[in-house]
Amino acid sequence: MIPLIDEDICTGCERCREVCPPQAIETAKKKVRIEAEFCEECGFCAAECPEGAIHIPFPKGST
């Protein structure tokens, strides 16, 4: 799943941009945007974010 960014928490520190392997994160005016076309869903950004502003939804529910 492509990460979701909570813009209210994001401080625009750009650390996510610096760890993104395919360089799919753009930052402008202290706001972060993920290019879905290039995102490989590695989760590095969520792990790096010091504010916990990046969340990757994980499926729940029974089969």
**Cβ neighbourhood burial of 16 (10 Å; 0-12, 13-18, 19+):** buried
Work out which of 4, 6, 9, 23 binds other proteins, going by CB under 8 A: 23
31 binds other proteins (CB under 8 A): no
C-alpha distance from residue 20 to each of 25, 29, 57, 62, 63 (Å)? 7, 19, 18, 32, 33
Q: Is 50 in the site for other proteins (CB under 8 A)?
A: no
Q: Which of 18, 26, 31, 33 binds other proteins (CB under 8 A)?
A: 18
Binding positions for other proteins, rule: CB under 8 A: 15, 17-23, 38, 40-44, 46-47, 56, 58-63
